[in-house]
Protein backbone atom coordinates (compact mmCIF):
# COMPACT_ATOMS: atom_id res chain seq x y z
CA UNK A 1 0.00 0.00 0.00
CA UNK A 2 1.26 3.50 -0.82
CA UNK A 3 1.99 5.74 2.14
CA UNK A 4 -0.93 7.86 3.32
CA UNK A 5 -1.17 10.18 6.33
CA UNK A 6 -4.78 9.04 6.76
CA UNK A 7 -4.19 5.28 6.56
CA UNK A 8 -5.14 4.73 10.22
CA UNK A 9 -8.26 6.92 10.26
CA UNK A 10 -11.78 5.58 9.93
CA UNK A 11 -13.88 7.91 7.81
CA UNK A 12 -17.61 8.22 7.11
CA UNK A 13 -19.87 10.21 4.83
CA UNK A 14 -23.28 10.09 3.18
CA UNK A 15 -22.68 8.63 -0.27
CA UNK A 16 -26.02 9.54 -1.85
CA UNK A 17 -27.10 13.04 -2.97
CA UNK A 18 -28.80 15.23 -0.36
CA UNK A 19 -32.57 15.40 -0.51
CA UNK A 20 -35.59 13.18 -0.05
CA UNK A 21 -35.64 9.75 -1.65
CA UNK A 22 -36.27 6.09 -1.09
CA UNK A 23 -32.79 5.26 0.21
CA UNK A 24 -29.79 7.07 1.67
CA UNK A 25 -26.44 5.28 1.88
CA UNK A 26 -23.81 6.07 4.48
CA UNK A 27 -20.32 4.69 3.86
CA UNK A 28 -17.75 3.94 6.57
CA UNK A 29 -14.17 2.98 5.65
CA UNK A 30 -11.03 2.31 7.65
CA UNK A 31 -9.49 -0.17 10.07
CA UNK A 32 -12.22 0.43 12.66
CA UNK A 33 -15.15 0.62 10.23
CA UNK A 34 -16.84 -2.53 11.55
CA UNK A 35 -16.19 -1.58 15.18
CA UNK A 36 -17.57 1.91 14.69
CA UNK A 37 -20.67 0.53 12.98
CA UNK A 38 -21.20 -1.97 15.80
CA UNK A 39 -21.42 0.92 18.26
CA UNK A 40 -24.56 2.20 16.54
CA UNK A 41 -25.99 -0.89 14.82
CA UNK A 42 -28.42 -3.20 16.60
CA UNK A 43 -29.14 -6.44 14.75
CA UNK A 44 -29.42 -10.15 15.46
CA UNK A 45 -25.66 -10.34 15.74
CA UNK A 46 -22.77 -7.86 15.74
CA UNK A 47 -21.42 -6.85 12.35
CA UNK A 48 -18.00 -8.23 13.29
CA UNK A 49 -19.60 -11.69 13.00
CA UNK A 50 -21.16 -10.97 9.60
CA UNK A 51 -19.49 -12.51 6.56
CA UNK A 52 -18.01 -10.40 3.78
CA UNK A 53 -20.59 -9.19 1.28
CA UNK A 54 -23.52 -10.15 3.50
CA UNK A 55 -26.45 -7.78 4.04
CA UNK A 56 -28.21 -7.74 7.42
CA UNK A 57 -31.16 -5.82 8.83
CA UNK A 58 -30.91 -3.75 12.00
CA UNK A 59 -31.58 -0.44 13.72
CA UNK A 60 -29.33 2.56 14.24
CA UNK A 61 -29.13 4.15 17.68
CA UNK A 62 -26.87 6.82 19.09
CA UNK A 63 -23.92 5.36 21.06
CA UNK A 64 -25.05 4.58 24.61
CA UNK A 65 -28.72 5.10 23.75
CA UNK A 66 -31.62 2.79 22.91
CA UNK A 67 -33.51 5.44 20.96
CA UNK A 68 -33.92 4.24 17.39
CA UNK A 69 -32.82 6.73 14.73
CA UNK A 70 -33.54 4.62 11.64
CA UNK A 71 -33.93 1.10 10.31
CA UNK A 72 -31.16 0.11 7.92
CA UNK A 73 -29.59 -2.64 5.87
CA UNK A 74 -25.89 -3.00 6.66
CA UNK A 75 -23.44 -4.44 4.12
CA UNK A 76 -19.97 -5.49 5.27
CA UNK A 77 -16.96 -5.52 2.94
CA UNK A 78 -13.70 -7.01 4.18
CA UNK A 79 -10.27 -5.68 3.22
CA UNK A 80 -8.85 -5.77 0.64
CA UNK A 81 -11.99 -6.70 -1.32
CA UNK A 82 -13.76 -3.36 -1.05
CA UNK A 83 -13.90 -0.12 -3.00
CA UNK A 84 -11.21 1.51 -0.85
CA UNK A 85 -9.24 -1.66 -0.12
CA UNK A 86 -10.05 -1.19 3.58
CA UNK A 87 -12.74 -2.53 5.91
CA UNK A 88 -15.99 -0.93 4.69
CA UNK A 89 -19.54 -0.87 6.04
CA UNK A 90 -22.40 0.65 4.08
CA UNK A 91 -25.63 1.54 5.89
CA UNK A 92 -28.67 1.86 3.63
CA UNK A 93 -31.46 3.69 5.42
CA UNK A 94 -34.48 5.78 4.56
CA UNK A 95 -33.77 8.71 2.29
CA UNK A 96 -34.18 12.13 3.82
CA UNK A 97 -31.93 15.02 4.80
CA UNK A 98 -32.73 14.97 8.52
CA UNK A 99 -32.71 11.23 9.21
CA UNK A 100 -29.54 10.53 7.17
CA UNK A 101 -27.77 13.39 8.97
CA UNK A 102 -28.77 11.92 12.33
CA UNK A 103 -27.34 8.53 11.30
CA UNK A 104 -24.11 10.24 10.24
CA UNK A 105 -23.91 12.11 13.55
CA UNK A 106 -24.27 8.82 15.41
CA UNK A 107 -21.47 7.22 13.36
CA UNK A 108 -19.18 10.21 13.90
CA UNK A 109 -19.83 10.18 17.63
CA UNK A 110 -18.88 6.49 17.62
CA UNK A 111 -15.35 7.34 16.49
CA UNK A 112 -15.34 7.96 12.75
CA UNK A 113 -14.10 11.13 11.10
CA UNK A 114 -16.07 12.99 8.43
CA UNK A 115 -14.54 12.17 5.05
CA UNK A 116 -13.11 14.91 2.88
CA UNK A 117 -14.34 15.31 -0.72
CA UNK A 118 -13.04 12.39 -2.78
CA UNK A 119 -11.33 10.70 0.14
CA UNK A 120 -12.87 7.27 -0.45
CA UNK A 121 -11.59 7.23 -4.02
CA UNK A 122 -8.27 8.67 -2.89
CA UNK A 123 -7.88 5.72 -0.53
CA UNK A 124 -8.78 3.36 -3.35
CA UNK A 125 -5.90 4.91 -5.33
CA UNK A 126 -3.45 4.87 -2.41
CA UNK A 127 -4.31 1.25 -1.67
CA UNK A 128 -3.72 0.20 -5.27
CA UNK A 129 -7.36 -0.51 -6.15
CA UNK A 130 -7.30 2.10 -8.93
CA UNK A 131 -4.57 4.00 -10.70
CA UNK A 132 -4.89 7.77 -11.01
CA UNK A 133 -6.37 7.67 -14.51
CA UNK A 134 -9.07 5.29 -13.31
CA UNK A 135 -9.71 7.40 -10.21
CA UNK A 136 -10.20 10.46 -12.37
CA UNK A 137 -12.64 8.45 -14.49
CA UNK A 138 -14.78 7.89 -11.39
CA UNK A 139 -15.41 11.63 -11.16
CA UNK A 140 -15.99 11.82 -14.90
CA UNK A 141 -18.59 9.06 -14.73
CA UNK A 142 -20.41 10.75 -11.86
CA UNK A 143 -20.51 14.06 -13.72
CA UNK A 144 -21.26 12.61 -17.17
CA UNK A 145 -24.18 14.40 -18.81
CA UNK A 146 -24.23 12.57 -22.12
CA UNK A 147 -23.68 9.16 -23.67
CA UNK A 148 -20.36 10.25 -25.14
CA UNK A 149 -19.09 11.36 -21.72
CA UNK A 150 -20.26 8.10 -20.17
CA UNK A 151 -18.50 6.01 -22.81
CA UNK A 152 -15.16 7.77 -22.35
CA UNK A 153 -15.38 7.55 -18.56
CA UNK A 154 -16.34 3.86 -18.52
CA UNK A 155 -13.51 2.96 -20.91
CA UNK A 156 -10.98 4.81 -18.76
CA UNK A 157 -12.40 3.36 -15.53
CA UNK A 158 -12.15 -0.11 -17.06
CA UNK A 159 -8.43 0.43 -17.55
CA UNK A 160 -8.16 0.66 -21.34
CA UNK A 161 -6.04 3.81 -21.20
CA UNK A 162 -3.98 2.37 -18.35
CA UNK A 163 -3.20 -0.77 -20.39
CA UNK A 164 -1.92 1.34 -23.28
CA UNK A 165 0.19 3.47 -20.95
CA UNK A 166 1.62 0.40 -19.24
CA UNK A 167 2.69 -0.86 -22.68
CA UNK A 168 4.49 2.45 -23.26
CA UNK A 169 6.15 2.21 -19.87
CA UNK A 170 7.27 -1.36 -20.44
CA UNK A 171 8.99 -0.37 -23.68
CA UNK A 172 10.80 2.47 -21.91
CA UNK A 173 11.77 0.28 -18.94
CA UNK A 174 13.30 -2.35 -21.23
CA UNK A 175 15.23 0.32 -23.15
CA UNK A 176 16.46 1.88 -19.92
CA UNK A 177 17.52 -1.54 -18.67
CA UNK A 178 19.69 -2.17 -21.72
CA UNK A 179 21.26 1.28 -21.42
CA UNK A 180 22.01 0.76 -17.72
CA UNK A 181 23.65 -2.62 -18.43
CA UNK A 182 25.92 -1.07 -21.03
CA UNK A 183 26.80 1.79 -18.69
CA UNK A 184 27.61 -0.67 -15.89
CA UNK A 185 30.02 -2.60 -18.11
CA UNK A 186 31.56 0.33 -19.96
CA UNK A 187 35.02 -0.53 -18.60
CA UNK A 188 34.79 -4.03 -20.08
CA UNK A 189 33.92 -2.51 -23.49
CA UNK A 190 30.72 -4.60 -23.77
CA UNK A 191 28.08 -3.43 -26.24
CA UNK A 192 24.73 -4.59 -24.94
CA UNK A 193 22.58 -2.48 -27.22
CA UNK A 194 21.96 -2.06 -30.92
CA UNK A 195 21.61 1.70 -31.33
CA UNK A 196 19.81 1.40 -34.67
CA UNK A 197 17.26 -1.01 -33.22
CA UNK A 198 16.83 1.21 -30.15
CA UNK A 199 16.21 4.27 -32.33
CA UNK A 200 13.59 2.36 -34.32
CA UNK A 201 11.88 1.26 -31.10
CA UNK A 202 11.83 4.79 -29.69
CA UNK A 203 10.61 6.25 -32.97
CA UNK A 204 7.75 3.75 -33.09
CA UNK A 205 6.88 4.60 -29.48
CA UNK A 206 6.93 8.31 -30.22
CA UNK A 207 4.48 7.78 -33.09
CA UNK A 208 2.14 5.86 -30.79
CA UNK A 209 2.32 8.59 -28.15
CA UNK A 210 1.60 11.28 -30.71
CA UNK A 211 -1.33 9.27 -32.08
CA UNK A 212 -2.80 9.10 -28.59
CA UNK A 213 -2.28 12.86 -28.14
CA UNK A 214 -4.31 13.45 -31.30
CA UNK A 215 -7.35 11.85 -29.63
CA UNK A 216 -7.51 14.63 -27.04
CA UNK A 217 -9.82 17.01 -28.86
CA UNK A 218 -12.28 14.22 -29.64
CA UNK A 219 -12.13 12.97 -26.05
CA UNK A 220 -12.52 16.47 -24.61
CA UNK A 221 -15.61 17.10 -26.73
CA UNK A 222 -17.05 13.74 -25.65
CA UNK A 223 -16.49 14.58 -21.98
CA UNK A 224 -17.41 18.27 -21.96
CA UNK A 225 -19.66 18.57 -25.00
CA UNK A 226 -19.40 21.31 -27.58
CA UNK A 227 -20.56 24.94 -27.48
CA UNK A 228 -22.49 26.00 -30.59
CA UNK A 229 -22.98 29.76 -31.00
CA UNK A 230 -25.55 31.10 -33.48
CA UNK A 231 -24.52 34.38 -35.11
CA UNK A 232 -26.20 36.63 -37.64
CA UNK A 233 -27.58 40.07 -38.22
CA UNK A 234 -31.08 40.86 -36.86
CA UNK A 235 -34.15 39.09 -38.24
CA UNK A 236 -32.40 36.29 -40.13
CA UNK A 237 -34.10 33.60 -38.01
CA UNK A 238 -31.52 32.80 -35.33
CA UNK A 239 -34.10 32.36 -32.57
CA UNK A 240 -36.35 30.35 -34.87
CA UNK A 241 -33.42 28.06 -35.60
CA UNK A 242 -32.71 27.68 -31.88
CA UNK A 243 -36.32 26.61 -31.35
CA UNK A 244 -36.13 24.22 -34.30
CA UNK A 245 -32.97 22.56 -32.98
CA UNK A 246 -34.45 22.21 -29.49
CA UNK A 247 -37.86 21.18 -30.87
CA UNK A 248 -39.60 23.58 -28.47
CA UNK A 249 -40.31 27.28 -28.08
CA UNK A 250 -37.26 28.41 -26.13
CA UNK A 251 -36.79 31.90 -27.58
CA UNK A 252 -39.32 34.62 -28.42
CA UNK A 253 -39.77 35.00 -32.18
CA UNK A 254 -41.28 38.10 -33.84
CA UNK A 255 -41.00 39.88 -37.16
CA UNK A 256 -39.48 42.88 -35.39
CA UNK A 257 -35.68 43.04 -35.87
CA UNK A 258 -33.68 43.08 -32.64
CA UNK A 259 -36.10 41.09 -30.48
CA UNK A 260 -33.22 39.18 -28.88
CA UNK A 261 -31.17 41.62 -26.80
CA UNK A 262 -29.17 39.11 -24.76
CA UNK A 263 -27.71 35.65 -25.19
CA UNK A 264 -30.05 32.67 -24.66
CA UNK A 265 -28.52 29.33 -23.76
CA UNK A 266 -29.85 25.79 -23.67
CA UNK A 267 -28.58 22.23 -24.10
CA UNK A 268 -29.34 19.54 -26.61
CA UNK A 269 -28.39 15.85 -26.74
CA UNK A 270 -27.42 15.03 -30.32
CA UNK A 271 -27.31 11.23 -30.43
CA UNK A 272 -25.16 11.10 -27.30
CA UNK A 273 -23.20 14.33 -27.78
CA UNK A 274 -23.97 17.22 -25.40
CA UNK A 275 -24.35 20.47 -27.34
CA UNK A 276 -24.74 23.78 -25.54
CA UNK A 277 -26.47 26.16 -27.94
CA UNK A 278 -26.21 29.92 -27.53
CA UNK A 279 -28.56 32.20 -29.43
CA UNK A 280 -27.23 35.75 -29.69
CA UNK A 281 -28.48 39.25 -30.37
CA UNK A 282 -28.34 40.37 -33.99
CA UNK A 283 -24.97 41.88 -34.88
CA UNK A 284 -25.20 45.30 -36.53
CA UNK A 285 -24.21 48.91 -35.98
CA UNK A 286 -26.62 50.68 -33.63
CA UNK A 287 -26.88 53.83 -31.52
CA UNK A 288 -29.14 52.10 -29.01
CA UNK A 289 -27.01 51.43 -25.87
CA UNK A 290 -29.05 48.31 -25.00
CA UNK A 291 -28.57 46.88 -28.48
CA UNK A 292 -24.88 47.80 -28.37
CA UNK A 293 -24.51 45.79 -25.17
CA UNK A 294 -26.34 42.89 -26.82
CA UNK A 295 -23.91 42.97 -29.75
CA UNK A 296 -20.95 43.07 -27.35
CA UNK A 297 -22.28 40.00 -25.56
CA UNK A 298 -22.84 38.25 -28.88
CA UNK A 299 -19.22 38.82 -29.88
CA UNK A 300 -18.02 37.67 -26.44
CA UNK A 301 -20.07 34.47 -26.78
CA UNK A 302 -18.61 33.89 -30.24
CA UNK A 303 -15.10 33.83 -28.76
CA UNK A 304 -16.17 30.98 -26.42
CA UNK A 305 -17.58 28.87 -29.25
CA UNK A 306 -16.46 25.42 -30.33
CA UNK A 307 -18.56 25.72 -33.49
CA UNK A 308 -20.04 28.89 -34.98
CA UNK A 309 -23.30 28.75 -36.90
CA UNK A 310 -23.68 31.80 -39.16
CA UNK A 311 -27.30 32.34 -40.19
CA UNK A 312 -28.08 34.30 -43.36
CA UNK A 313 -31.45 35.39 -44.69
CA UNK A 314 -31.68 33.39 -47.90
CA UNK A 315 -34.59 35.48 -49.13
CA UNK A 316 -32.33 38.51 -49.43
CA UNK A 317 -29.07 39.31 -51.16
CA UNK A 318 -25.93 39.20 -49.02
CA UNK A 319 -25.13 42.66 -47.62
CA UNK A 320 -22.36 44.33 -45.63
CA UNK A 321 -23.86 43.32 -42.28
CA UNK A 322 -23.84 39.66 -43.38
CA UNK A 323 -20.23 39.96 -44.54
CA UNK A 324 -19.25 41.49 -41.20
CA UNK A 325 -20.74 38.51 -39.35
CA UNK A 326 -19.00 36.05 -41.70
CA UNK A 327 -15.71 37.90 -41.18
CA UNK A 328 -16.14 37.70 -37.39
CA UNK A 329 -16.77 33.95 -37.60
CA UNK A 330 -13.74 33.38 -39.82
CA UNK A 331 -11.51 35.23 -37.35
CA UNK A 332 -12.32 32.80 -34.51
CA UNK A 333 -10.29 29.83 -35.74
CA UNK A 334 -13.08 27.34 -34.98
CA UNK A 335 -15.30 25.35 -37.36
CA UNK A 336 -18.01 27.45 -39.02
CA UNK A 337 -21.26 26.47 -40.68
CA UNK A 338 -23.06 28.86 -43.03
CA UNK A 339 -26.82 28.45 -43.04
CA UNK A 340 -29.14 30.14 -45.52
CA UNK A 341 -32.48 30.29 -43.76
CA UNK A 342 -36.07 30.88 -45.03
CA UNK A 343 -35.95 28.37 -47.88
CA UNK A 344 -39.76 28.12 -47.57
CA UNK A 345 -40.24 31.63 -48.95
CA UNK A 346 -40.88 32.27 -52.64
CA UNK A 347 -38.30 35.06 -52.51
CA UNK A 348 -35.54 32.58 -51.54
CA UNK A 349 -32.66 33.40 -53.88
CA UNK A 350 -29.52 31.66 -55.08
CA UNK A 351 -26.30 32.63 -53.31
CA UNK A 352 -24.48 35.61 -54.72
CA UNK A 353 -21.28 33.60 -55.23
CA UNK A 354 -20.38 29.99 -56.13
CA UNK A 355 -18.28 29.79 -52.96
CA UNK A 356 -21.28 30.62 -50.78
CA UNK A 357 -23.42 28.09 -52.65
CA UNK A 358 -20.87 25.35 -52.00
CA UNK A 359 -20.18 26.28 -48.35
CA UNK A 360 -23.73 26.85 -47.12
CA UNK A 361 -26.77 24.77 -46.19
CA UNK A 362 -30.30 25.76 -47.13
CA UNK A 363 -32.87 25.36 -44.36
CA UNK A 364 -36.22 26.59 -43.17
CA UNK A 365 -36.33 27.06 -39.41
CA UNK A 366 -40.07 27.68 -39.84
CA UNK A 367 -40.92 24.33 -41.49
CA UNK A 368 -37.92 22.30 -40.32
CA UNK A 369 -36.71 21.60 -43.87
CA UNK A 370 -32.96 20.95 -43.89
CA UNK A 371 -32.62 21.01 -40.09
CA UNK A 372 -31.84 17.29 -39.88
CA UNK A 373 -29.03 17.72 -42.41
CA UNK A 374 -27.72 20.64 -40.35
CA UNK A 375 -27.70 18.47 -37.21
CA UNK A 376 -25.58 15.87 -39.02
CA UNK A 377 -23.14 18.59 -40.08
CA UNK A 378 -22.88 19.81 -36.48
CA UNK A 379 -22.08 16.28 -35.31
CA UNK A 380 -19.52 15.81 -38.07
CA UNK A 381 -17.75 19.05 -37.17
CA UNK A 382 -17.80 18.25 -33.45
CA UNK A 383 -16.71 14.60 -33.49
CA UNK A 384 -15.46 13.81 -36.96
CA UNK A 385 -15.41 10.01 -36.74
CA UNK A 386 -18.39 9.84 -34.37
CA UNK A 387 -18.62 8.64 -30.78
CA UNK A 388 -15.77 6.43 -29.56
CA UNK A 389 -16.37 2.69 -29.92
CA UNK A 390 -16.09 0.20 -27.08
CA UNK A 391 -12.46 -0.56 -27.99
CA UNK A 392 -11.35 3.01 -28.74
CA UNK A 393 -8.85 4.62 -26.40
CA UNK A 394 -9.01 8.41 -26.15
CA UNK A 395 -7.71 10.94 -23.67
CA UNK A 396 -10.11 13.58 -22.40
CA UNK A 397 -8.10 15.62 -19.87
CA UNK A 398 -5.63 18.42 -20.50
CA UNK A 399 -3.43 16.95 -17.75
CA UNK A 400 -3.12 13.71 -19.72
CA UNK A 401 -2.40 15.51 -22.97
CA UNK A 402 0.34 17.63 -21.40
CA UNK A 403 1.98 14.60 -19.79
CA UNK A 404 1.96 12.75 -23.12
CA UNK A 405 3.36 15.82 -24.88
CA UNK A 406 6.23 15.86 -22.37
CA UNK A 407 6.75 12.14 -22.98
CA UNK A 408 7.00 12.74 -26.73
CA UNK A 409 9.42 15.63 -26.12
CA UNK A 410 11.73 13.43 -24.01
CA UNK A 411 11.61 10.74 -26.69
CA UNK A 412 12.59 13.32 -29.30
CA UNK A 413 15.54 14.37 -27.16
CA UNK A 414 16.59 10.74 -26.72
CA UNK A 415 16.44 10.16 -30.48
CA UNK A 416 18.49 13.31 -31.11
CA UNK A 417 21.09 12.12 -28.59
CA UNK A 418 21.31 8.76 -30.34
CA UNK A 419 21.62 10.42 -33.76
CA UNK A 420 24.42 12.65 -32.47
CA UNK A 421 26.18 9.61 -30.95
CA UNK A 422 26.13 11.21 -27.51
CA UNK A 423 26.87 9.35 -24.29
CA UNK A 424 24.35 6.69 -23.29
CA UNK A 425 23.85 8.57 -20.03
CA UNK A 426 22.05 11.39 -21.87
CA UNK A 427 19.77 8.92 -23.63
CA UNK A 428 19.00 7.13 -20.37
CA UNK A 429 18.24 10.45 -18.67
CA UNK A 430 15.74 11.37 -21.40
CA UNK A 431 14.05 7.97 -21.19
CA UNK A 432 13.70 8.31 -17.42
CA UNK A 433 12.08 11.71 -18.03
CA UNK A 434 9.63 10.06 -20.42
CA UNK A 435 8.85 7.44 -17.78
CA UNK A 436 8.18 10.08 -15.16
CA UNK A 437 5.86 11.96 -17.52
CA UNK A 438 3.82 8.82 -18.19
CA UNK A 439 3.74 8.13 -14.45
CA UNK A 440 2.00 11.48 -13.89
CA UNK A 441 -1.07 10.10 -15.68
CA UNK A 442 -1.38 6.84 -13.76
CA UNK A 443 -0.07 8.20 -10.47
CA UNK A 444 3.34 6.57 -10.13
CA UNK A 445 5.15 9.93 -10.09
CA UNK A 446 2.41 12.48 -9.38
CA UNK A 447 3.09 15.20 -6.80
CA UNK A 448 0.94 15.37 -3.67
CA UNK A 449 -0.44 18.82 -4.52
CA UNK A 450 -1.75 17.50 -7.85
CA UNK A 451 -3.37 14.55 -6.08
CA UNK A 452 -5.00 16.79 -3.49
CA UNK A 453 -6.36 19.11 -6.19
CA UNK A 454 -7.72 16.23 -8.25
CA UNK A 455 -9.55 14.48 -5.41
CA UNK A 456 -10.89 17.73 -3.95
CA UNK A 457 -13.08 18.06 -7.07
CA UNK A 458 -14.99 14.90 -6.07
CA UNK A 459 -18.20 15.00 -4.07
CA UNK A 460 -18.15 14.03 -0.38
CA UNK A 461 -18.93 10.33 -0.01
CA UNK A 462 -17.06 9.23 -3.15
Asked if the structure places residue 4 within a domain, the reply is: no
Last residue of a domain, one of 131, 164, 182: 131
More confident residue, 92 or 370: 92
309 and 435 in a single domain? The answer is no
Q: How far apart are CA 61 and CA 459, in angstroms?
A: 27
Same domain, 186 and 210: yes
Give percent above pLDDT 70 in the chain.
85
Same domain, 45 and 110: yes
Residue 343 has pLDDT above 70, yes or no: yes
- Residues 227, 211: one domain? no
Q: Is the pLDDT assigned to residue 167 strictly greater than 80?
A: yes
Buried b (16+ CB within 10 A) or exposed e, 77-109: bebeebbbbbbbbbbbbebbeebbebbbebbbe
Q: What is the pLDDT of residue 453?
A: 59
Query: What range defines the domain where residue 335 resides?
Result: 222-383
Query: Averaged over 198-205, what is the pLDDT?
Result: 93
Q: Looking at 169-249, which runs of residues are DSSP E strands?
A: 226-231
pTM of the model: 0.79
Average pLDDT score, the chain: 84
Give residue 334's pLDDT.
86
**CATH label of the domain that carries residue 325:** 3.40.50.300
Please indicate, yes or no, whether residues 161 and 252 belong to a single structural domain of this protein.
no
Domains in the chain, number = 3
Reference 459, options 13, 82, 69; nearest CA is 13
DSSP conformational letter for 287: S
* Residue 294: per-residue pLDDT: 74
pLDDT for the residue 101? 94
* Mean pLDDT calculated for residue range 318-343: 87
Q: Report whether 244 contacts 311 (CB < 8 A).
A: no
Look up the CATH number of the domain holding residue 126: 3.30.1360.120
Q: What is the DSSP string of 99-131?
A: HHHHHHHHHHHTT-EEPPTTHHHHHHHHTTSS-
Give me the percent of the chain exceeding a pLDDT of 90.
Answer: 33
pLDDT of residue 1: 41
At 3 the pLDDT is 46
CATH number of the domain where residue 406 is located: 1.20.120.430
pLDDT at 271 over 90: no
Q: What is the pLDDT of residue 192?
A: 58
**Has residue 462 been placed in a domain?**
no
Count of residues in the chain: 462
pLDDT band at residue 258 using 50, 70 and 90 as cut-offs: low
Amino acid sequence: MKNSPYSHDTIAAIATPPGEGGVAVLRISGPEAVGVADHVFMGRSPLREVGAGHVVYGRITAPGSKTVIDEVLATVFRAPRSYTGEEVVELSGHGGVFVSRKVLEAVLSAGARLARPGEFTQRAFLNGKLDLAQAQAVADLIHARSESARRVAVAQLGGRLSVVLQGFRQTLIEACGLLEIELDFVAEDIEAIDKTALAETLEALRREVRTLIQTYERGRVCREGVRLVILGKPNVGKSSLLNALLARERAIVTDTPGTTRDTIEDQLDLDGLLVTITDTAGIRQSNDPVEQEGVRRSEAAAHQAGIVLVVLDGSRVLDEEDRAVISLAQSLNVPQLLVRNKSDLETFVKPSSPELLEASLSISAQTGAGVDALVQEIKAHALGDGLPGVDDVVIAHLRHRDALANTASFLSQALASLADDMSQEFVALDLRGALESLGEITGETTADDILNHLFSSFCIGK
